Amino acid sequence: MLKLGFIGVGAMGRSHVDLFHCQSNGRATATAICSRNPDNIAKAKEFAPDVEVFDNESALINSDVDGVVVSSPNHTHVALTREIVAADKHLFLEKACGITMAECDELVALNKQTEKVILIGHELRYSAFFQKMKSLVDAGEIGRLRMVWTKEFRGPLQPKSGDWIQNKTMSGGLMVDKNCHHFDMMNWWAGGRPTRVSAFGALAVNRVIEGNNQVNDHSTVSYQYDNGVLGSLQVCLFARDFPHEDLEMGIVGEEGVLQSKTSTVEILQWKRGKDEGEPIVHRVEAKAGVGWGGHLGFAEIHDAFLDAALEGKPHLTGVDDCIDGTRLAIAAEASVNSGIVVQL
């Protein structure tokens, strides 16, 4: 059994406590949490009544835990990783991998210094739904890849403690916090590394905090991979509200197109020159996420972390696997701010 400590027990952190402590079939137990919010502590104790409560992250990291689950604001991720690696503990690190390129570089270096598991919380890779899209690509169903895209037209970001998610000095910006998920998926499907990006964005509707650090609420991004595949992302936070929003992701090959329909857990496929307008529909049985956000793959990623930490099994979201998703998001934010094409 893996003894786990949890840094950050807001809505996301409590979902991790639930999955690991209550739903892991006895393979993990929550022994410690770190929080300074009495309400969050009380809610976390509803899942794990006997946890020891810390108000200091370093004290938890150096306590009698085997691993640490980090769900704190993005700007703390790399500094906490530094301490966790020094303490020789396993780490489940929520995305993003950092909020600057220098932090991403440090995370890569820290990962090389430890033999413990560092798993990044990009749960979408673990869903049977998105894995099916990957398998169709790998099987050559749409031929050689040429383009990938994401369109996320949704409502505003969910509130976080102290509105840190709205402050780009803490979150890294909208795309670093939110769309690093989608960049990661597109990187996985495309099989290349992003090389340059051009992006535009602005704040139009969702003013939450005062000052210049409020994150943007809509952006559009175009970018290129080293294998020639082109990518794009559009995100807007003042479109259709949950549960009416729908995430659209797609892949274009020389012989066809794949498009996700996440609201019905279906993949639509068109074969170039062989269809009469109606797509082939792939219906996938995939678990909805437990707790925060209901993300596909959320339950499965916890099993993957335990398999890796307890049994040494490989997983899909190591630092080297996922770092480019965060780097691409950081570069996109930099392009919005500078008005220039950013080279990666």
Task: Find the CATH number of the domain harbouring 83.
Answer: 3.40.50.720
Domain end position, chosen among 121, 144, 169: 121
Written as tens digits, the pLDDT of the chain (344 aa) is 999 999 999 999 999 999 999 999 999 999 999 999 999 999 999 999 999 999 999 999 999 999 999 999 999 999 999 999 999 999 999 999 999 999 999 999 999 999 999 999 999 999 999 999 999 999 999 999 999 999 999 999 988 989 999 999 999 999 999 999 999 999 999 999 999 999 999 999 999 999 999 999 999 999 999 999 999 999 999 998 877 777 899 999 999 999 999 888 999 999 998 766 789 999 999 877 555 456 899 999 999 999 999 999 999 999 999 999 999 999 999 999 999 999 99
Domain end position, chosen among 106, 121, 136: 121
Domain end position, chosen among 64, 90, 121: 121
The residue behind tokens 């066809």 is 256
81: CB partners within 8 A, 6+ apart: 70, 91, 93, 107, 110, 118
The predicted structure's pLDDT at residue 244: 77
pTM above 0.75, yes or no: yes
Domain contains 246 = yes
Angle among Cα 123, 125, 127 to the nearest 5 degrees reads: 80
The predicted structure's pLDDT at residue 293: 52
DSSP helix/strand/coil, 128: helix
Integer Cα distance of 312 and 298 in angstroms: 20
Domain contains 33 = yes
Same domain, yes or no: 31 and 168? no
| Structural domains of the chain, count | 2
The predicted structure's pLDDT at residue 126: 97
Same domain, yes or no: 89 and 147? no
Integer Cα distance of 193 and 166 in angstroms: 29
Residue 31: which domain range? 2-121
The predicted structure's pLDDT at residue 314: 98
Label the pairing between strands 266-271 and 256-261. antiparallel
Same domain, yes or no: 268 and 144? yes
Domain contains 297 = no
Same domain, yes or no: 278 and 140? yes
Integer Cα distance of 105 and 326 in angstroms: 11
Integer Cα distance of 184 and 344 in angstroms: 15
CATH of residue 270's domain is 3.30.360.10
Domain contains 323 = yes
Integer Cα distance of 15 and 292 in angstroms: 6
Q: 288-321: buried (b, 16+ CB within 10 Å) or exposed (e) per residue?
A: ebbbbeebbbbbbbbbbbbebbbeeeebbbebeb
196: CB partners within 8 A, 6+ apart: 223, 224, 341, 342, 343, 344
Same domain, yes or no: 41 and 143? no
Domain contains 268 = yes
